[in-house]
Every structure is written in C-alpha cells, then in structure tokens.
Amino acid sequence: MRAALLQSVGGGAGLGPGPIGGSPGRGAAALTQGLLLSIAAAAAIFAAAALFPLRDVLLGGPTLCPVRLSTGLLCPGCGSTRAFVAGLHGDLLGALAANPLATLASPFLIIAFVKQAGRLFDEGAVGRTYVASRWIWALFAVIVLYTVLRNLPWAPFTALAP
C-alpha cells in the first residue's frame, strides 16, 4: 500500500517512466498556482469547520449510509465522513480511529488534488504520474483485505472499524 502510494507520488524508480506528458517549465508554474488555489480552498474549508459547529451533529448522528443500512456491513469507506470531520478539527488520531486506510490515503489524494488544481491554470502542462499495474492490483488487494478484516468482530480487527 505504502509503496503503491509512494509510486503514485514519486513516479517510482525503475517501475515506470515517471510522469506522463506535461512540460517541466510550464508545469512548475501551473503547479505553483494550483498549490496556492488549494491552500486558499483548504483555508476556507478549515475556517468553515471552525465557524460552524456541525461536528457533534455529524459525529453523533445516526447512520445515513445506504450500504451500511441495507447490508449492515462496513465498507472500506465507512467512517470516512467521521475521519474527514475529525481531520478538519485537527484531530488526527480521531481520523485514524474512524477510518485508518482513508486517513493514510488522504495525503496522496491531496497531492492529486493539487495537481488537478494546477491543470485548471494550464491544462496539459502538469503531467500525470504513471502507476504500474501491479501496484494498482496491490492497492485493490489491500482494500479488499481491509474490508474483510474491519468486519471481523474480534479484538485486533475491531480497531479497523469506525
């Protein structure tokens, strides 16, 4: 998982060609703009979280997820709303407790978001990162395993449940 995600960020020495497309000079400028936009957006979201006291409503409310309600099972995304809200309030441990895999994946998703924001400014200047297929399969396996384990009602695995 970690290697797969590192791969998705760094381009992965030896496993692939690194970035696909993009242009080095223009890409850096667009990425800078995308980063600034992302920081502004993040600041707005954190400010909104601090201003509007929805935390208790979201964390203490009933289960709304259709999958959870219809099957009773914990899917890999279960707890991610709670993890997101906890993260918005700076509660990293709370986020990890709610959905560890989603929390661990979020830095890499943030990088993807920043790159996507850069593409708003200069489409085509920011290249995509090639992830070798074996790492995507590994990620798939991790998610499936995670889903099975967090549904087991015994001591070590209940830590994976929200």
* Positions that interact with other proteins (CB under 8 A): 8, 11, 13-23, 54, 57-58, 61, 64-67, 75-77, 80-81, 84, 99, 101-102, 105, 108-109, 112, 116, 124, 127-128, 130-133, 136-137, 139-140, 143-144, 147
Closer CB to other proteins, residue 35 or residue 65? Answer: 65
Closer CB to other proteins, residue 92 or residue 109? Answer: 109
Least distance to other proteins from the beta carbon of 120, Å? 15
**Could you tell me the two tokens for 156?**
């070590």
Closer CB to other proteins, residue 130 or residue 155? Answer: 130
Tell me how far CA of residue 120 lies from CA of 45, 96, 115, 123, 141, in angstroms.
Answer: 20, 31, 9, 6, 33
Least distance to other proteins from the beta carbon of 129, Å? 9
Least distance to other proteins from the beta carbon of 87, Å? 12
**Could you tell me the two tokens for 26?**
């223009």
Closer CB to other proteins, residue 110 or residue 159? Answer: 110
Least distance to other proteins from the beta carbon of 77, Å? 5
Closer CB to other proteins, residue 84 or residue 155? Answer: 84
